[in-house]
Amino acid sequence: MRQRIVVLGGGTGGTMLANSLDRRRFETTLVTASTTHLFQPGLLYVAFKNAGTPLVRDERGLLARHVHLVHDTVTSVDLTHQLVETAGGSRLAYDRLVVATGIQTDPSGIPGLADVVGRVGDYHSTVSQARLLWQSLDRFRGGTIALGQTTPICKCPPSPIEGILLADELLRRRGLRERSRLVFFTPYPRPYPAEPMNHVVEPILKERGIEVATFFDVDRIDPESFTLTSIEGDVIECDLPILVPPFTGAPIAYEPAGVLDESRFVRTDPRTLRVRGTGTAFAIGDATSLPTSKSGVGAHLEAQVVARTLRGSPATFAGRTHCPFDLAHGRGTFVAGTYDAPVVPSPPSRLKHVMKATFARLYWLSLRGTLDPALDLYFRLTDPARPRWRGLRGPHPGT
Ligand SMILES: Cc1cc2nc3c(=O)[nH]c(=O)nc-3n(C[C@H](O)[C@H](O)[C@H](O)COP(=O)(O)OP(=O)(O)OC[C@H]3O[C@@H](n4cnc5c(N)ncnc54)[C@H](O)[C@@H]3O)c2cc1C
């Protein structure tokens, strides 16, 4: 008898997981709200480089033929009775559930933010919002750009600094840098949250003349004057505010409701990836409460762990992250760490920039598992727990 697996969400994690379950043992159904799949890292290049590479593909074409696809929005999940309900009226019973519904931007909690994001654009939600941000940057002829994250948790932790560095590169290319002030703000005590990587990043910001405002928790933003005020009463005035909005989990009603935390992230065991308090449900990727980076690489590695457990060989997640980090001007680095091996300060290089760009081209293949043997080897060789990294490690964990 085949196990009925229901996967919620057809993004990076859900698609990889569904594709990795074979048809002999599993009857896999993937329920996803959108008919298309967005390669989210590409939003950075639409917003800051006006990149024209298509970022969206049809989800059906990315799934193995035996995966049953339901295009519908999940409205409720009853973990006790193992039942999923959708907006379209479907009721799906499961033996095992995998939640991979990601997170979405939610500017509603900060007065003025929805208005600003609607006028200026952002690079953490949709292609049209990223295009709007490009248009705002394209119109900019000098003045102050303030860019930063509004809450500590951010999809792809390097992305705020990548944004300010790419803005700097753009202004230099256009001969506008002399007439412009760039301010990077963050709620953290340093530009990059993990201290070992901050040793790499902070000197670059300094060298490029980017000002940094730390401990800046955005309380409100005036949509007319573009004045940002922090909870502590500090003020940043600017001509172009680029804000990474707060994030929230999918609006799905869970039974029991206690599996969601205050950000609507699914409370997940950091090692087994089981939804807390259940034996039959797992969560992967951005949707989880895991104390690690919200990244596609994480979603990929977590999908592998859950697939192994579903196949009957219980596996555990080590908290591995490996976020590619674009430092602009053709240089890049990686943020790699695990729960037990803190982030390694990785020196910038051209090769790492090329690797990030190459992976973007290979993303679609990776969803089918085609690249797994090469990627597994790469992740093993670059595992921060390997002895050769130990000497490089700084004193503080984090990603
Ligand atoms: C600017 C930017 C740069 C990034 N750069 C990198 C990078 O360099 N490297 C990296 O590893 N990661 C990067 N990321 C992060 C990466 O894209 C995400 O972490 C990854 O996509 C998370 O995968 P996921 O499967 O958890 O969620 P997603 O890929 O977000 O998928 C969630 C899916 O769930 C569906 N869904 C949501 N709600 C419902 C519902 N109620 N019912 C049904 N379906 C639903 C959505 O439609 C979507 O298909 C970047 C992200 C951004 C925005």
Separate counts of helices (H) and strands (E) for the chain: 10, 22
How far is 22 from 2, CA to CA, in rounded Å? 10
Q: pLDDT tens, 257-309?
A: 999 999 999 999 999 999 999 999 999 999 999 999 999 999 999 999 999 99
User: Residue 284 Cα, ligand 1 centroid: separation in angstroms?
Assistant: 11
Mean pLDDT, the chain, rounded, equals 94
Q: pLDDT tens, 16-44?
A: 999 999 999 999 999 999 999 999 999 99
Q: pLDDT tens, 327-383?
A: 999 999 999 999 998 888 888 999 999 999 998 889 999 999 999 999 999 998 888
H/E element, 160: helix 159-173
The answer, yes or no, to whether any atom of ligand 1 lies below 6 A from the CB of 213, is no
H/E element, 127: helix 127-139
Residue 73 CA, closest ligand 1 atom number: 42
Q: pLDDT tens, 204-219?
A: 999 999 999 999 999 9
How far is 89 from 75, CA to CA, in rounded Å? 9
The answer, yes or no, to whether any atom of ligand 1 lies below 6 A from the CB of 34, is yes
The answer, yes or no, to whether any atom of ligand 1 lies below 6 A from the CB of 169, is no
The answer, yes or no, to whether any atom of ligand 1 lies below 6 A from the CB of 252, is yes
Residue 295 CA, closest ligand 1 atom number: 19
pLDDT at 389: 52
Pocket test for ligand 1, best of 46, 149, 155, 162 (most atoms within 8 A of CB): 155
CB atoms within 10 A of CB 36: 15
Three-state DSSP class for residue 329? coil
Q: Domains of the chain (ranges plus CATH)?
A: 3-105+248-310 (3.50.50.60), 107-246 (3.50.50.60), 321-392 (no CATH)
How far is 10 from 285, CA to CA, in rounded Å? 11
Percent of the chain with pLDDT over 70: 97
pLDDT at 342: 82
Is residue 193 reached through a cis peptide bond, with omega within 30 degrees of 0 on the bond before it? Answer: no
pLDDT at 361: 86
The answer, yes or no, to whether any atom of ligand 1 lies below 6 A from the CB of 157, is no
| pLDDT surpassing 90 at residue 83 | yes
How far is 97 from 74, CA to CA, in rounded Å? 13
pLDDT at 41: 97
The answer, yes or no, to whether any atom of ligand 1 lies below 6 A from the CB of 33, is yes
| pLDDT surpassing 70 at residue 390 | no
Residue 296 CA, closest ligand 1 atom number: 11
Residue 163 CA, closest ligand 1 atom number: 1
**Residue 261 to residues 201, 249, 307, 330, 372, Cα–Cα distance (Å):** 32, 9, 25, 39, 32
The answer, yes or no, to whether any atom of ligand 1 lies below 6 A from the CB of 293, is no
pLDDT at 272: 98
